[in-house]
Amino acid sequence: MSTKDSMAKEYFADNARFADLCNNILYGGREVILPENLKERDTTEVLTALGLDKKTIAVQKLRDIFKNASIKYTGKSYVVLIGVENQSDIHYSIPVKNMFYDVMAYGNQVKETAKKHRREKDIATSDEFLSGFTKEDKLIPVITITVYLGTKEWDGPRKLSDMFGDVDEELLPFIPDYRINLLAPREITDFTGFRTSIRQLFEVLQNAYDKEKMQEVLQNDEKFSNVDRETVEAINLFAGTDIDIDEKEEVIDMCKAWEEQKNEGREEGRELGERQKIISLIVKKLQKDKSVAEIADDLEEKEEVIAPIYEAALSMKPDYDVEKIYELLEKNKRLA
């Protein structure tokens, strides 16, 4: 399992974040699913059936996250099963993948119901005996949500029919379709419905491709001044940022950390420019056959400062590539 997969599972398995995620996708941000009404389920889906040779065939799949959700809404109580599949990259057969999970979850419900009836010997009709499922039995709805944690636009399929080639239009009404429930950060238009710090994660993912937009988001949303460490770690991993994290701190001021990182980058760039300028000056004097002592005297610098640059430049003769000389000096510094 990759680092991204592991972190995504751990991050969204938290009940508060899971509820926040589901409420935004399923209820437009209304607080309907509560963290305390979520219960972990086994993420392993195993479905068995008899093959043509009467031997048992077992299929096993492992979901990312799977929970029982007890919902009290509009005066009624419901139970649904909700799975979350995390994608750090675009998956071009995701409708088939998710549909398989859902079919297995429904198949297991039918199987468990049939086992219960056999155990209790309460099947009344031959029709019910055939399926093991009675007219009164009901399935628990299964919902699978795909969370895309990439920074690119999602250009993968959104339903099974998107994966078909040319199909006779007259046949389409007879071909069952399957639609995925997709959350893609670049497509979110309103972040105000999020109640946890997954809002900050999705805002950064939406704008990670543009540093100016990132700067604007960090400056305009005060919530970035108080982000939990787990979310900052997720932002660094999925958005490719390098926000400094103090392990002793449980919350991080991302606005401040981002500004400090920018300033450090400017300083490093300035130092690089000055270093390469000195290398360039030494190369010009080396090409005039000047010695280390002469170059040091011309540049009013110590010989021990000029000597390693002189030797590195001399090794690049006759090209004297300034960038390559700088890289060699940095490599020598690390090996010293």
Instruction: Tell whether the model's pLDDT for residue 98 goes beyond 80.
Output: yes
331 versus 162: the higher-pLDDT residue is: 162
Give the mean pLDDT of 75-90.
93
pLDDT band per the 50, 70, 90 thresholds, residue 260: low
C-alpha of 30 from chain center: 24
Instruction: Tell whether the model's pLDDT for residue 265 goes beyond 70.
Output: no
Residue 255 confidence (pLDDT): 75
Q: Which of 304, 297, 194, 211 is nearest to 258 (CA)?
A: 211
- Paired tokens of 45: 């889906």
Residue 240 confidence (pLDDT): 84
Residue 52 confidence (pLDDT): 52
CA–CA gap between residue 180 and residue 183 (Å, rounded)? 10
Question: pLDDT tens, 119-150?
Answer: 888 877 777 777 788 888 999 999 999 999 99
The answer to whether 103 touches 61, Cβ cutoff 8 Å, is no
Instruction: Tell whether the model's pLDDT for residue 264 goes beyond 80.
Output: no
- Provide the b/e sequence for 303-317 (b: ≥16 CB within 10 Å): eeebeebbebbeeee
Q: Length of the chain, please?
A: 336
Residue 1 confidence (pLDDT): 61
Return the percentage of the chain with pLDDT > 70, whole number.
90
Q: Which range, 18-27, 67-76, 205-214, 238-247, has the best average confidence (pLDDT)?
A: 18-27
SS3 track for the chain: CCHHHHHHHHHHHCHHHHHHHHHHHHHCCCCCCCHHHEEECCCEEEEEEECCCCCEEEEEEECCEEEEEEEEECCEEEEEEEEEEEECCCCCCHHHHHHHHHHHHHHHHHHHHHHHHHHHCCCCCHHHHHHCCCCCCCCCCEEEEEEECCCCCCCCCCEHHHHCCCCCCCCHHHCCCCECEEECHHHCCCCCCCCCCHHHHHHHHHHCCCHHHHHHHHHHCHHHHCEEHHHHHHHHHHHCCCCCCCCCCCEECHHHHHHHHHHHHHHHHHHHHHHHHHHHHHHHHHCCCCCHHHHHHHHCCCHHHHHHHHHHHHHCCCCCCHHHHHHHHHHHHHHC
Return mean pLDDT, the chain. Answer: 86
pLDDT band per the 50, 70, 90 thresholds, residue 259: low
CA–CA gap between residue 319 and residue 333 (Å, rounded)? 22
Residue 289 confidence (pLDDT): 85
Residue 47 confidence (pLDDT): 66
Question: pLDDT tens, 191-230?
Answer: 999 999 999 999 999 988 887 888 788 877 778 888 899 9
Residue 234 confidence (pLDDT): 92
Half-sphere exposure in the Cβ direction for 316 (13 Å, CA): 23
176 versus 305: the higher-pLDDT residue is: 176
What separation, in Å, do the N-terminal and C-terminal C-alpha atoms of the chain show? 37
